[in-house]
Amino acid sequence: MWENIADGLRGEGVSVTSVTRDARLFLDSLGTDPPQVAVMDVEGDGEASLGCSVTEGINLLREARKRRLEVRMLLLSAVSVPEIISQCFDEGASGYLFRKGLGTSAVSSAINSLVRGERLFPVQLLRNDFEHPPVTTPTASVLMALTQREREVLQYVSGGADNLKIAAHLQIAERTVKSHVTQLYRKLGAENRTQLALRACHLGVRPPPDL
């Protein structure tokens, strides 16, 4: 299956460096010869699959983040539970697409979006967030209520950067970044980092060009 998808992506002009089902080999390859984007096939726990389970996928994301691998992770899955999708983003996913009916052109487009620094949230997660809107004031008013530094931090959060990376880019202490993120949670009504990134998306906040 994945060999066919890889061939299709090559036909779309995407350079595919490797295809593997071995999780350890997958992570090691990202550390030695990292691509710009890594694609993972994720299935529900307990399902027979060609890819990894949700638990395995989340563990891979967590381990990649722990190793501080500079790779954007795109997940293809049939799992549509908002809490699980949100956890994937919390653990470092940059994009999440539903596999059903997904063609190689859509995957290629998603890869190119991630290369440009964008994040791809599935419709179900966006819909869930829109159904429980925390911000009812106009966009301009919301952004004006943020300090300049908070707006800068929000830009990096929207691009998936963690606190340590934000601190390095802005040349401030990590604990200072954490304080700004806490204030952003309060001001934008977010409960976690993924929700905060979604709020940024709704407000039209884009990742900075140096991310």
Domain locations along the chain: 2-128, 133-202
**207 vs 117: CA distance, rounded Å:** 7
**33 vs 86: CA distance, rounded Å:** 28
**78 vs 152: CA distance, rounded Å:** 34
**187 vs 143: CA distance, rounded Å:** 10
DSSP 8-state secondary structure symbol assigned to residue 75: E
pLDDT score, position 130: 45
Residues 156-183: what's their mean pLDDT? 93
Residues 148-152: what's their mean pLDDT? 95
* Model pTM score: 0.67
What does pLDDT average to over the chain?
83
CATH of region 133-202: 1.10.10.10
Residue with more model confidence, 163 or 26 = 163
Residue 44: pLDDT band with limits 50, 70, 90? low
* Model confidence pLDDT, tens digit, residues 61-72: 999 888 888 889
pLDDT score, position 51: 66
Share of the chain above pLDDT 70, in %: 87
pLDDT above 90 for 170? yes
pLDDT score, position 154: 94
Question: Contact, 119 vs 95, CB < 8 A?
Answer: yes
Residues 21-32: what's their mean pLDDT? 79
pLDDT above 70 for 136? no
pLDDT score, position 127: 58
Superfamily of structural domain 2-128? Response regulator (3.40.50.2300)
* Model confidence pLDDT, tens digit, residues 97-132: 887 777 888 888 889 888 888 888 876 565 555 445
